[in-house]
Chains A and B, each alone.
Chain A
Amino acid sequence: MSYSVAGLAQGAAGHQDVAAGAEGVISGLLGLGIPAAAVGTVPAAARFGAGLERARLGIGRAVAAESAKRLDQARRTAATAQLGDQLVGDTTRIAQQASTGSSIAQGMH
């Protein structure tokens, strides 16, 4: 067994990056509304404008959900990595105190 502490730490940072990227998409979406008159005042204009707003809000909600999920995953993964670090440290110390310490300690890395 090789507990990949570095991988988890990297994963936690990656989740943070994904969350930041998702927030960037949301920021972009904020500026993507159109003035009501941009499509003119034909009968379908109101329907078009309303549909566009629904799409903007719906997509924004989906992207925001991903951002929130990633922040949660970043916290979980970082905490696991931290515990893993501690676990490796503790078990290595114990192993070094035992007669077969070196081989066990090597196995933990």
Chain B
Amino acid sequence: MPTLSEVAALREQVVHAQPDVLDATAAGWTRASAQAAAVATGAAHVDELTAQSFRNGGAVYDAAAATAATRAALGDSGAHLDQVGRALKVVADELRATQTGVFREWTDLLLELDAINQQIADLSGPIPRTITPDPVARAAELHAQADQALARHGGAIARLVEAYDAIVVNRSRTFSDIGFGDPATDPSAPASAPPPGTPPAQVGAWWQGLSPQQRDELIRDEPTVIGNLDGVPVAARDQANRFSLGHEITRYEGKQQAIQAQLDQLPPTGVRQSPAAGDLRNDLTAQLTGVTTRLDALNVINARLTASDPRPAYLMGFQPDAGRNGKAIVAVGNPDTADNVVTSVPGTYATLNTLSGDIKHSEQVALSASAAAPDKQTAVVTWLGYDAPQSIPVQAGQHSFADAAEVPLRDFQDGLRVTHQGVPSRNTVFGHSYGSTVVGQTARDQPLNADALIFAGSPGVGVDHVEGLHRPPGTVYSTTSDADVIGWTHSPLLGVFDDELGHDPSAPEFGAHVFHADPTGDHGAYWNRGSPSLRSFGRIAVGLEPD
């Protein structure tokens, strides 16, 4: 049974720590990483220029070789700086969550003990205010309640601090792994994940070289890295991300409770209160709404992942704090074993909070593909691996959102090929609305690892003709409903997106294989059951021609 002073000592271990300082320092390490990378790039350029100049002069002096070792070390330093920055950020986040939890448990404990003490004091006062048949037995009962409260809240605090300590231990291993620690004193140090930007093929080779124990340790210790690493098999990513999702749900539940507790302490509505209290209530209410919306969205994703469904779901990516609105990748069916894989990129207004609707669309495409080829397995991935625009027409008319999505989407498609088992799957990339801009631009700028592209309700795909997408003939499909307002953006009168995002890919002169959509369907009707567009999505996914 812990004493109050023992619980207080545990609390002291985290209560004065400074997550904001860790965050600020983490940002500094990340900045230094970018700076080192830029210097390394400049160094490579200088070496090339200098070596060329020496060679032109007939000199035998190998200028590039002279700097190769230190330049490589500088490049490594950039990656190491980033690793340290990430380790600090994780510790800061965990610390903050731990402090919140410890604060809540400690406050609850003190309130409970105060209430019990008051009752004990009442029993022994000169004029008892309560009528108790057996004050001695009642006092013993109250002391037992106090012990239970100490055990309950003290235990919770101990577990929180212990879990945080384990995270600090794990992140300490980062320093050994980057080669500046002393691995000899830490034989349990697991393999470290490859640095960001490692090509998926290399990631796949690295993963294959790990022992099952090393893989398990990485999934446990680096879930946010492994879960989002293209080239790691789907099942491993899913396992890591489910851990992160559970953690995130707990974090948001804590946030929700903390805000609610603050609201409960304010004077009730309807009672006269100061303007400051009113402002605080409004602010807290807005915060509570935001937190509750996110929590609901996370729970919906979790429900789909844990549902007993003949087509199980896999969480292939989960970065709730990435970008402006969070990122996530959910597969319906396992892309590593499926015969056909569709990657579906949602468009404007897509966020982590709206992902459940996009997953439902993917379910519809999977069903349609099954209807088209009942003996084949088709997995459909909802890919929210980018920051989607959040306004029309201002953001949705800009290509910058698609620019930022190109590398992640290309790496994701490459990763699918790396981890797929057996005969290569037929891979299709589908873009709806601004998602089609993302897909088109990515294909325009470098080869995109896919057998077919589908655009639906597109504001433009970054080129004015299908030839600009560098695709084999007959592998680009497009549809736009006559009733879809997106068509206005290409009208001769408005044409607002044509200059910025490219010509309408559903126009005959673009050169794509155009297929039918319900002429009365709006911008969100392409997945409606029984619609010609949904039927065609499924047919194209399995390698058949659209209706």
Contact residues of A with B, CB < 8 Å? 1-4, 7-8, 10-12, 14-15, 17-18, 21-22, 24-25, 28-29, 31-35, 37-45, 47-48, 51-52, 54-55, 57-59, 62-63, 65-66, 69-70, 73, 77, 80, 84
A45 to B161, CA, bound (A): 12
Chain A binding site: helix, strand, loop or mixed by DSSP? helix
| 29 A-B interface contacts by CB (under 8 A) | A4-B56, A7-B53, A11-B49, A11-B53, A14-B50, A17-B42, A21-B38, A25-B77, A28-B28, A32-B32, A35-B21, A38-B25, A39-B17, A40-B17, A40-B95, A40-B164, A42-B164, A42-B165, A43-B165, A44-B166, A51-B176, A55-B181, A58-B80, A63-B36, A63-B77, A66-B70, A73-B63, A73-B66, A73-B67
Provide the main secondary structure of the chain B interface. helix
- Asked if A66 and B18 sit within 8 Å, CB to CB, the answer is no
Contact B53 A40 (CB under 8 A): no
Cβ of A62 and Cβ of B73 under 8 Å apart?
A: yes
Query: Within the assembled complex, what's the spacing in Å between the Cα atoms of A25 and B29?
Result: 10
Q: CB-CB < 8 A to B22: which residues of A?
A: 34, 38-39
Q: Which residues on the B side are within 8 Å of A77 (C-beta)?
A: 50, 63
Nearest chain B residue, comparing its CB with the CB of A65: B70
Cα–Cα, bound, A40→B71 (Å): 37
Write out the residue numbers on chain B whose beta carbons fall within 8 Å of the beta carbon of A21. 35, 38-39, 42
Cα A21 to Cα B88 in complex, Å, equals: 24
Given A11-B50, A28-B31, A32-B29: A39 touches B67 (CB 8 Å cut-off): no
Q: How far is the CB of B277 from chain A (nearest CB, A)?
A: 33
Closest to A84 in B: B57
List 10 additional A-B contacts (Cβ < 8 Å) besides A28-B32, A34-B25, A37-B18: A1-B56, A37-B17, A39-B91, A40-B14, A40-B164, A44-B168, A44-B172, A58-B180, A66-B43, A80-B54
Name which residue of chain A comes closest to B32, CB basis: A28
Q: What residue in chain B is nearest A8 (Cβ atoms)?
A: B53
User: In the bound complex, what is the Cα–Cα distance between A14 and B57 (angstroms)?
Assistant: 19
Q: Chain A residue with minimal CB distance to B164?
A: A42
Q: B52 within 8 Å of A by Cβ? A: yes
Contact residues in B for A73 (Cβ distance below 8 Å): 50, 63, 66-67
Q: Does B368 contact A (CB under 8 A)?
A: no
Instruction: Give the shortest distance, in Å, between B462 (CB) and chain A (any CB).
Output: 34
CB pair A70 B81 closer than 8 Å: no
A55 adjacent to B84 (CB under 8 Å): yes
B168 and A39 form a contact (CB under 8 A): yes
Complex formed: what's the CA distance from A44 to B176 in Å? 14
- The reply to whether B18 and A47 contact each other, CB–CB distance below 8 Å, is no
At the interface, yes or no: B174 with Cβ under 8 Å from chain A?
Answer: yes
Inter-chain contact A3/B17, CB cutoff 8 Å: no
Question: Per a CB cutoff under 8 Å, which of A15, A22, A28, A84 touches B50?
Answer: A15
Nearest CB in chain A to that of B83: its residue: A55
Q: B13, A2: Cβ atoms under 8 Å?
A: no
A7-B70 in contact (CB<8A): no
Q: A18-B39, A21-B35, A35-B18 are in contact. Are A51 and B174 (CB under 8 A)?
A: yes
CA distance in complex: A6, B200 (Å) = 41
Q: How far is the CA of A45 from the CA of B89 in the complex (A)?
A: 15
CA distance A42 to B29 in the complex (A): 23
Complex interface: chain A residues within 8 A of B38 (CB): 21
Give bound CA distance, A59 to B165, whole Å: 26
Most buried by A among B58, B70, B91, B172: B70
Q: Give bound CA distance, A84 to B54, whole Å.
A: 10
Residues of A within 8 Å of B91, CB to CB, are 39, 48
- State whether B31 touches A14 (Cβ < 8 A): no
* Docked-complex contact A24 and B57, CB < 8 angstroms: no
How distant is A47 from chain B, measured CB to nearest CB, in Å?
5
Supposing A28-B35, A40-B16 touch, asked if A17 and B180 sit within 8 A by C-beta, the answer is: no
A62 to B78, CA, bound (A): 10
C-beta contact mask, B177-210 vs A, less than 8 Å → 1, else 0?
0111110000000000000000000000000000
B445 at the interface (CB under 8 A from A): no
Chain B residue contacts of A15, Cβ below 8 A:
46, 50
B residues near A17, Cβ cutoff 8 Å: 42, 46
- A67 CA to B73 CA in the complex, in Å? 11
Residues of B within 8 A of A62 (CB): 70, 73-74, 76-77
Report Cα–Cα, A15/B32, bound state, in Å. 20
Report the minimum CB–CB distance from A36 to chain B (whole Å): 10
The answer to whether B49 and A10 touch across the interface, beta carbons within 8 angstroms, is yes
| B169 contacts the other chain (CB 8 A) | yes
* Min distance, Cβ B10 to any Cβ of chain A, angstroms: 9
Q: Is the CB of A38 within 8 A of B18?
A: yes
Bound CA span A45–B59, Å: 54
Q: How far is the CA of A12 from the CA of B63 in the complex (A)?
A: 11
CB distance from A62 to the nearest CB of B (A): 4
Q: Does residue B327 face the partner (Cβ distance < 8 Å to A)?
A: no
B12 CB within 8 Å of chain A: yes
Q: What residues of B have a CB within 8 angstroms of the CB of A58 in the complex?
A: 80, 178-180
Complex Cα distance A23/B91, Å? 28
The contact of A4 among B18, B21, B53, B70, by CB within 8 Å, is: B53
* A1 proximity list for chain B (CB < 8 A): 56-58
Contact A25 B36 (CB under 8 A): yes
B237 on the A face (CB < 8 A): no
Question: Does B361 sit within 8 A of A, measured CB to CB?
Answer: no
With contacts A11-B49, A58-B180 known, is A24 near B35, CB below 8 A?
A: yes
Q: Quick one: which of B45, B74, B172, B176 contacts A22, CB cutoff 8 A?
A: B74
Chain B residues with Cβ under 8 A from A39's Cβ? Answer: 17, 22, 91, 95, 168
